[in-house]
Each structure stands twice: as C-alpha cells, then as structure tokens.
Structure 1
Amino acid sequence: MRLRVIALAAIGVSSTSFAASAPKQPSGKWIVNFADAQCVATRNYGSEEDPFYLVLKAPAVGDVLQLGLVRKGATDEATQIDAEILFDESAPVRTSLLDFGNRKLNQRAMMANLPAKQLSPLTTAKTLRIRAREDGVSTIGTRLAVNTSRADEAFTLAQMTAVLKALDTCAADLRKIWKVWDYEKGGAQAGLKQGPTGDLVRLFDADDYPAISILKGQIGDVGFVLLIDELGKVADCTVIRTSGVAALDAQSCAIVKARGKFKPAVGLDDKPSKSAWFQRVRWALMR
C-alpha cells in the first residue's frame, strides 16, 4: 500500500470579484492523497456537514490534468455540459464537463480533462471560475433531456504551486511503483521480464457510443494509461490525451475498467507484477 496524505496549510488571499457571484472561500486545507493507484488533490469549500470539494487528479504520465467538483447528490444520471473555465480575468478555456452522480456514495461530480498547457495559469491565478456555455444540457446514454443541470461556480485559489509540485512528486512515485515507462519515446518497462497482455479492441461496440456525442456529431481520439495489478485487474484508468469531449473520455475508461481483462506482467523474480498499459481509442461516426 502507498497511502500517504500531505496537508497544505490554508492561506487567506484577496480575490478578483465576478459579477455573477463572489468566489467561494476555502474551509479546509489542500489534501494531496498519495493513494495506491491515484494522485488526487482536494480542498473543501463547503462545510463539514455539506462539503464541496475542488479536485485535481494527475496521471502517472502525460500532460492532462483532471479538474473537478464534488458535492452531495443522490442521482445516478449523467450529463455532458459545454463549459468554460476562467483563471482570474483571462480568456476562457472552452471544454466539456461530465456531470455524474453516485447514489451509493451520495455524491455528485463534474469533471473535465484538460491539457496541462491550458492549466498553466493555475500556478499564479487567484480565482477559478467554471461555468456552462449553453442552457441546453443533454443526458448521456439513450435518453435525452434538456436543462437538467447548470454549472457556475467560482473559487479562491492559493498555494497552487505547492499543490502541483506535490502531484508531480506523487506521479513520479506512481511511475516507479507501477513500472510505468515513457511510452512516447518507445521505451520498455524496466524491472519486468514480461509486460501485461490483453486485447482491448474487442471490448468496444457501436452501442457504446454516447448518445449526446452522436447527437452533436462529436468524434475524437482518447489516450489513456491503465495501471494493471498483480491479478491482471485494472486498478486505475486515467486519460492522458483528451478528445476534448467529456462523454468520450469518460466512456473510454468506463468500458475498459468494466470489461478489461489482462494477463499480469511478470517481474524479474518470475512473479506477477504491477505494470502499466497505454491505449488509444478513436471514436468516429460512420457516414
């Protein structure tokens, strides 16, 4: 196990005002969780009884960072929101958010995968705003609905350089433990006699295409890294190349985590070993 938590002390910061609403102030410290297969930073902007978390998740490799909001919510419905993210008063970054819930955990989240270069203002920004770009929001799946969700939240930021540095340290730790190699340079997995084997191509079916993406004619390539444990199970799936479409990114990982089966890697000691697997999926509509 690799469970480690770093708490970063809260610091009061003056913030830029927005016409719609004043940015929320943090009610707790930044917590960077060095979990067994994930690197996640969270900060509470709500109360202990009604928490509202700003969340950052970093992959073991790649230049994509997941930005999200988590609060209480009891519905399992999933929607895609065309949104924009603003740092202070800079030009908005256009993206899409996956808005989904977990009834068992009584939680609802909005998540976006963003290239690190789009998040570079995080290191110096004093405020962050996430807001919807359209009134119409469509349900992901087979049933479509309108005006099911809205997003317009602003947050005061502080200590972001330290938070991002801690996430980088966590990611480096993940790479070491899970024997993740530099796939872009064509490297091999060090410390393994044999890598994991499996076939992900057959996991995907035409019926898996999100209805909202069909409706909007959305296509794209999704690259992701899987962390495979000693039993051949997918311990984590993180997007490292975003399609720019929240539904396609999320569906890629959801399918692989639910259906993926691997023969585990073999270590230098001839025993099953932790390892990583890189995959790219192309979502395309046939004309």
Structure 2
Amino acid sequence: MGLARFALVLSMVAGSAGASPSGEWQPSGKWVVRFEKNQCMALRGFVRGDRKITVGFESKFLSPYYSVLFEMPGSPTGLGLDRASLVVGRERQPSRSALIGPSKKSGFQIISFTATDKQLEDLEAHPWVQFSAAGKTIRVPVTSFRSVQELLDRCEAQVLASWGFSFADQARIATYPKTGKGLLNVFTADDYPSSALKRDAVGQVDLRAMVGLDGKARDCVIVRSSGHPDLDTATCALFIQRNRYSPGVATDGRPMVAPVFVTVRWLMG
C-alpha cells in the first residue's frame, strides 16, 4: 500500500494558531497510531513555546487522493473556505479546496483539504507543511515519513481484514477494482436531496463497498457520516445503483471480489 492512502491532520490542542512561517515547532513525543471511525491515524505532538499542536497522517483507503485536516477554534459553517491554503513540501501552488466541519471538541472546527499523492511523496525530501487561514500561518516539520507509512500500512491491513477482506486476500490481490466513471458522472446536482437543500445541509460522506466479479458494488457501508442522514442514504443508494467497476485482479490474473473506498462531498453554490 502506497502513499496514496494517507491524509494529513493538523490538530490544535492548546494555545494560539498564530505561529509565523519561520517559527520552529519541535516534536514532543513519538508517532502513535490511533484507530477511529474506521480510519487509521498516526499522530505526533509538537510544541513551540507554550503552544501545542498534534500532527498526523490519516489513512484514506484505496484512493489516489488524501484529505488534509486542520482543527482550530471556531464555529463550523459547512461552507468552502476560499481564504485557507495548504502547502506541502516545496510545492509552489497551494491547495485551496477546503471544507469546514465540526470537531469533537467544543468550540473547534475542522478545515479539510483534498490534494494529490504527489504532495506526500515530496515530504520525504522536503519534510514540512504550511497551513494558512484567517491571517494566521503554521509551518510544521514532518520527519520520519517512511516510518509513519509503515505504521499506517499495518493498521490499514488490519482494517481491511475487519471489513472481510482477509490478510490472505490482501496478499493475493494485484489490482483493486477500478471505475471508468468519475464521481461527477455518478452524482449530479439534480441528486441533491430536497430535504437537505431546504436546510442548506452540506457535508462529506466516506463509504466502503465490495465489488463482485460482475463489477457491481454491493454491501455499501457508511464509514464516516456527513452528519445528515438524508445525504448519507442518498450517497449509498446512488453509488450502488449507478457505479460500475472492473473487478479486482489477483496475482494469477483471475478476477476476485475486493473492496472499494469512496469519498463524496455534498456542497452548494
């Protein structure tokens, strides 16, 4: 399992988020793996003076993309945030596709980005990330990336096994199911549930399903809810009804039943 499965998480645990780009954050502990809501997370604390943050990588199963999250004080609006940006490694063009959601911590919000796996590959040679929002910037060193990758690989293998895809099947598969359709061809603006439209409800839904030898997805399970039952229900129903895959392929060239993991964002405007 490669770099494509990871999502970076920045979690504010104490103090202000106002560190300057030239500020140096030092690790305050070792990488720790945490399993939460069917996701694997490797976390590490950092300090700068009396300020503390937690940096981590969250697995994003079987996908060429990852989500970058930053938890900070504030009230979530559930809307896109145009003034936020994320820079990974030496990249020149920051990621600006952001979504705001609630945090488990009272008075906090989570800003989520989507970016490509190429950014994570650059972390090995240029180990830092920089997040900016509302006039505040944090630049954090991210070292020992390969060791983080190994920790998450082991955690992810255990999660896939818990989904019914055994360690033996994981060793046997050469290619996971692929779809010729982009999500924009599966979900359209007309699919937005009317009940959600009336409430201006937005959110992100993570789902998993098993793809059979016939290429049809079955057994859709919501891994992470949007917080809106109507959006969750519509996501699984439309995904099962419309999406078709090329089945997984084993090392001997034969098709095999295998899982897929999909993230769907419901936005307005």
Relative to the length of structure 1, the TM-score reads 0.52
- How far residue 105 of structure 1 moved from its aligned partner, in angstroms, is 4.4
2:119 is aligned with 1:152: no
Q: Does 1:225 align with 2:207?
A: yes
2:155 corresponds to which residue? 170
User: Which residue matches 1:140?
Assistant: none
For residues 229 and 138 of structure 2, the distance between their equivalents in structure 1, rounded to whole angstroms, comes to 26
Q: Deviations over 1:172-227 (max 9, x none)?
A: 222222135822179xxxxxxxxxxxxx99984156469799xxxxxxxx995337
Tell me the secondary structure at the aligned position of residue 27 of structure 2: coil
Does structure 2 conserve the Cα–Cα contact (< 8 Å) formed by 1:86 and 1:93? Answer: yes
Instruction: Determine the C-alpha separation between the residues in 2 that align with 1:115 and 1:223.
Output: 19
Q: Which residue of structure 2 lines up, in the alignment, with residue 44 of structure 1?
A: 45
> 1:127 touches 1:154 (CA, 8 Å); kept in 2?
yes
Q: What 5-or-longer segments of structure 2 have no aligned partner? A: 1-18, 166-172, 181-186, 211-218, 238-257
**Conserved? CA contact 1:52–1:70, under 8 Å:** no
Deviation at 1:154, TM superposition (A): 0.8
Question: Which structure dedicates a bigger proportion of its chain to strand?
Answer: 2
- What is the alpha-carbon distance in structure 2 between the residues aligned to residue 36 and residue 19 of structure 1? 33
1:183 matched to 2:177? The reply is yes
TM-score by length of 2: 0.55
CA distance in 2, matches of 1:93, 1:59: 20
Q: Would you say 1:75 and 2:43 are equivalent positions? A: no
Aligned partners of 1:44 and 1:54 also within 8 Å? yes
Deviations 1:146-188 (CA, angstroms, capped at 9, x unpaired):
xxx45522101211111122222322222222135822179xx
Q: Secondary structure at the match of 2:67?
A: strand
Partner of 2:231: 255
User: SS of 2:231's equivalent?
Assistant: helix
Which one of the candidate residues 237, 247, 250 is aligned to 2:224? 237
Whole-Å separation in 2 of the counterparts to 1:126 and 1:255: 37
What is the CA deviation profile of residues 4-53 of structure 1, one whole-angstrom value per residue up to 9, with x for unaligned ones? xxxxxxxxxxxxxx974424323232222245721112222248x97522
User: Displacement, 1:59?
Assistant: 2.2
Q: Percent identity?
A: 18
Q: Deviations over 1:89-125 (max 9, x none)?
A: 4323323222333376454322212221232212222
